[in-house]
């Protein structure tokens, strides 16, 4: 079963960005336990998570809060 937001091009770009951040951190050999790595990982994950959460909202104002 797929959700509507999984078809959004911006959602797929956000997932690609998150994977790129993880690859970058591995490439430059920064421990994932470091503060900067943790912050980058959490920030990159928040993008697709906000898109998914916003897609589940029913009212236009709610969706606008998460997507914009």
Complete DSSP assignment for 22-60: HHHHHHTT--TTSHHHHHHHHHHHHHHHHHHHHHT--SH
Domain layout of the chain by residue ranges = 16-67
Measured distance CA(36)–CA(29) in Å, rounded? 12
Measured distance CA(33)–CA(10) in Å, rounded? 28
Instruction: Evaluate if residue 66 carries a pLDDT over 70.
Output: no
Nearest to 16 by CA among 54, 47, 53: 47
pTM above 0.85, yes or no: no
- pLDDT tens digits along 2-40: 888 899 999 999 999 999 999 999 999 888 788 999 999
């Amino acid at each position: 079963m797929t959700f509507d937001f999984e078809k959004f091009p911006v959602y797929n770009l956000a997932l690609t960005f998150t994977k790129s951040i993880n690859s970058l951190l591995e490439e430059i050999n920064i421990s994932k336990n470091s503060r900067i790595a943790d912050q980058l990982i959490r920030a990159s994950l928040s993008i697709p998570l906000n898109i998914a959460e916003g897609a589940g909202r029913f009212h236009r104002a709610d969706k606008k809060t998460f997507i914009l």
